[in-house]
Each structure stands twice: as structure tokens, then as C-alpha cells.
């Protein structure tokens, strides 16, 4: 995969320090640990605020791993585009089908280490049903799903259990959603 902020020699330790300060000064605590596997899909739930982005990037620095994340293509337009890509962003055009699942599965198959972060809601707005691309990517690539979270009610961020898809998508999604039942987003009215 490409060079990102996580690979930048001087910037990486600076970002670790800034992330530590951000979490300490705002009263956030870390919980859990990332999977031992070097390849996994990290779902980020609940996703209700723009603050979820810097906090998730901070968590990646504090837990010591490099993440890539998917975002709407408009985030990558203009001068912000190269910066978003340097931060690990992968632009997704949500207006048309682009075989995103197959492309990400292929990326997993071509490397020894990859973490792709996906918010199953697909938006910060309220949705009643999650998008299932994260599940199909993990199943297709044969990698686990890490249950990442930001709970604004307790100011806790980190990892829940590592989930291995069984192939029964309805049962698995219900089980994954059960883990998030008590997690509160910054804008709780946007999370179903």
C-alpha cells in the first residue's frame, strides 16, 4: 500500500504524542486491544460526528498500527485530496457501483499487512440498516472484523472482541450489533 502519515518518520512520533495529549486532556480512555492478525477489517461504530475521524486516527496512533479508511469522494477534491490520502483515505464514489468489495478483497490478497476502517452506517446521518460491504470484504478476504468503537457517554474508545464471519450474515450482523447496543455516539439521535 502507499506511503501515509503512519510511515512518516518525524511526523509519526509527533502524532502519537499529540494523540496522547488529545485523549488525556479531553478525558478519553482506551479500552481493549487490536487483533493479533496483521490483516483485518476495522468497523468504526457509532459514526455520528466529524469528531469521529480525528479520534479514530488518534486511536490508530496510540494502538500502534496503520489504518486505511474509506470516505466519500468529495472529501478528496481540491487541495484536501492529497492530505486525505496521506492520512490513509481511499475515495469511494457512492453514486455508482464500482466493485469496491472486490477491489478491497484484492488489496487484502496482495499484501501481508492491511487494516481497512469502514463505518457500517456509511454516513454520519441516521440510518436504520447498516451497509454490509465490510462483512463481504472480511468474508471474501478471509480476515477477521475488529469491533472498534467510540463511546461518547463514557469517553472510551478502543476495541471490542475480534469477530470471525461464519457465513451466516444475518446472524453475524445481529451479533455484531449487539456489541454496539450500549455505545453512544456524539449525536445519539443519529445512531439507530
Residue pLDDT, tens place only, 79-126: 999 999 999 988 877 666 668 888 889 889 998 999 999 887 755 455
Q: Report how far Cα 53 is from the mean position of its chain's Cα atoms.
A: 9
* The CA-based dihedral angle spanning residues 98, 86, 127, 172, taken in that order and rounded to the nearest 10 degrees: 80
Q: Considering its fold, how many domains does the chain have in total?
A: 1
pLDDT value at position 70? Answer: 79
Distance, CA of 186 to CA of 55 (rounded, Å): 12
Look up residue 123 and give its three cell numbers: 454516513
Structural domain harbouring 37 = 5-190
The β-bridge partners of 162 are 146
pTM of the model: 0.85
Residue pLDDT, tens place only, 159-181: 999 999 999 999 999 999 899 88
pLDDT band of 2, cuts 50, 70, 90 = confident
Amino acid at each position: 500500500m502507499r506511503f501515509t502519515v503512519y510511515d512518516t518518520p518525524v511526523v509519526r512520533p509527533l502524532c502519537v504524542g499529540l494523540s496522547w495529549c488529545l485523549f488525556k486532556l479531553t478525558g478519553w480512555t482506551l479500552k481493549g486491544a487490536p487483533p493479533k492478525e496483521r490483516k483485518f477489517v476495522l468497523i468504526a461504530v457509532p459514526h455520528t460526528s466529524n469528531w469521529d475521524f480525528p479520534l479514530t486516527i488518534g486511536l490508530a496512533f496510540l494502538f500502534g498500527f496503520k489504518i486505511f479508511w474509506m470516505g466519500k469522494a468529495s472529501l478528496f477534491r481540491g487541495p484536501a485530496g492529497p492530505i486525505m490520502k496521506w492520512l490513509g483515505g481511499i475515495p469511494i464514489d457512492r453514486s455508482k457501483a464500482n466493485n469496491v468489495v472486490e477491489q478491497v478483497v484484492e488489496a487484502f490478497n496482495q499484501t501481508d499487512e492491511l487494516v481497512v476502517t469502514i463505518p457500517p452506517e456509511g454516513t454520519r446521518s441516521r440510518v436504520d440498516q447498516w451497509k454490509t460491504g465490510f462483512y463481504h470484504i472480511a468474508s471474501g478476504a478471509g480476515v477477521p472484523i475488529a469491533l472498534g468503537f467510540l463511546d461518547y457517554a463514557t469517553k472510551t474508545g478502543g476495541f471490542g472482541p475480534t469477530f470471525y464471519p461464519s457465513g451466516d450474515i444475518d446472524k453475524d450482523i445481529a451479533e455484531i450489533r449487539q456489541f454496539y447496543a450500549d455505545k453512544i455516539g456524539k449525536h445519539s439521535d443519529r445512531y439507530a
